[in-house]
Structure 1
Amino acid sequence: MIGKRYIVYGRVQGVGFRWFINNVAENLNIKGYVMNMPDGSVEIWAEGEADSLYTFKNYILKGNGFSFVENIEEEIVPVQGYTHFSIKY
């Protein structure tokens, strides 16, 4: 189990991106959260198995068809022990 924090830049607010990320995370058994940031980016905290997080990042980059990801920052973070994935507001 590892933790990753992603900051996603581009057209990622107001296009259903958080809902898309939430569904993908639940399907991949990833725990954590997704949240809009004041600067227009989206923060994702994800905890799961390495192969699931690799697949998850590919979905982030692809987006939901309405979003457009220009850049993604990724860092390894300490596992916090989230029990589910949620959308924060």
Structure 2
Amino acid sequence: MIRRRVIVHGLVQGVGYRFSCQMQAENLGVRGWARNRPDGTVEAVFEGDATAVEQMVTWTRRGPRHADVTRVDVAEERPEGLAGFDTY
């Protein structure tokens, strides 16, 4: 199990980014959460199988159809054993 925290920059609020992120994560069996930040970015944490988590990180670079992602910052973290996937 691995954990990644991402900060997604660009037009990522008001375009269904968090909802789409949750659907993608659930399809891949990834646990974690996604939230809007006051600066207009989306922050997300992904935990799970290394392949699935890396697929999520790759997905964040494009996001849903109406998103315009300009940059994704990725940090490795120690897994906490999260359950499910939440949006805030």
Amino acid in structure 2 at the alignment position of 1:76 = E
Paired position in structure 2 for 1:56? 56
TM-score (norm 2): 0.96
Which runs of structure 2 are paired with 1:1-89 in the superposition (5 Å)? 1-88=1-88
CA distance in 2, matches of 1:57, 1:79: 15
Percent of aligned positions with the same letter in both sequences? 34
Give the Cα–Cα distance (whole angstroms) in 1 for the partners of residues 45 and 57 of structure 2. Answer: 12
Q: Which runs of 5+ in 1 are unaligned?
A: none
Tell me the amino acid that sits aligned with residue 59 of structure 1: W
Matches of 2:37 and 2:58, distance apart in 1: 21
Amino acid at match of 2:30: I
Shift of 1:56: 1.1
- 2: CA distance between counterparts of 1:62 and 1:37? 18
- How large is the RMSD of aligned CA atoms in angstroms? 0.7
Classify the secondary structure of the residue corresponding to 2:61: helix
Query: Structure 1 counterpart of 2:79, which letter?
Result: V
Mapped to 1, the partners of 2:9 and 2:23 lie a distance apart of 20
- CA–CA distance in 1 between the matches of 2:80 and 2:44? 13
Count of residues in Structure 1 that have an aligned counterpart in Structure 2: 88
Aligned letter for 1:34?
A
Q: Which runs of 5+ in 2 are unaligned?
A: none
